[in-house]
Chain A
Amino acid sequence: NAGVMQNPRHLVRRRGQEARLRCSPMKGHSHVYWYRQLPEEGLKFMVYLQKENIIDESGMPKERFSAEFPKEGPSILRIQQVVRGDSAAYFCASSRYGASDSEAFFGQGTRLTVV
């Protein structure tokens, strides 16, 4: 049973381009969470999705950022018109039952570099 798979592991984009980060949850998991790692080692919550629905996007920047989790396929975090400040590591996690779960599993992250 593969863990949470994130790809690509490293992504380089020029300013103004679009970045697409993918997250395939563990088998049987329908809840996905996206986090951005801050320079001071913190992880900032961005968005919580359950198959085809956004449950909580309180941590998402109002512009340029969007997320989806379609019925089929991975969850996608999309950043349009990237800027240097978007450079960070982005992690996703998945769980089976959501907030009541006692376990969540993290992917290895995607490191986005904007040049």
Chain B
Amino acid sequence: AQTVTQSQPEMSVQEAETVTLSCTYDTSESDYYLFWYKQPPSRQMILVIRQEAYKQQNATENRFSVNFQKAAKSFSLKISDSQLGDAAMYFCAYRSAEDMRFGAGTRLTVKP
């Protein structure tokens, strides 16, 4: 069974609006990393943002930010001012020293 859960197989957002993609994970580790990857039709996996578990401050990369709730084991991705080019599959991933796991993905559609 996967230990990274993305509960939204598909999401849709209007261009210029904000959308939040959900991700929860399960771990007994205290030291780990969390990632969001974007997969456009080219199938390449592009790293969008990463968060170190020991950091309390939420990571931000331009229009992308996360809401990291360590106690709740939640790691959501917020995309502000959505653009057509944001349309893709988004994968949440967890990595510890010995393990890396991915969620099943969320397909994001951006409507013009």
A99 CA to B37 CA, complexed, in Å = 17
A43 touches B37 (CB 8 A): yes
Residues of B near A91 (CB, < 8 A) are 100, 102
What number of residue pairs across chains A and B have CB atoms under 8 A from each other?
A: 54
Contact A43/B105 with A102-B9, A108-B99, A108-B100 known, Cβ cut-off 8 Å:
no
Chain B, residues 23-67, CB within 8 Å of chain A (1/0): the string is 000000000000101000111111100100000000000000000
Establish whether residues A45 and B47, one from each chain, have CB atoms under 8 Å apart when the complex forms.
no
- Subset of 9 A-B contacts with CB under 8 Å: A33-B43, A42-B45, A43-B45, A99-B41, A102-B105, A102-B106, A104-B89, A106-B101, A108-B99
Report A's interface with B, CB cutoff 8 A.
Answer: 3, 33, 35, 37, 40-45, 48, 56, 59, 89, 91, 93, 99, 102-106, 108-109
Residues of B within 8 A of A (CB): 1-2, 9-10, 35, 37, 41-47, 50, 89, 91, 95, 99-102, 104-107
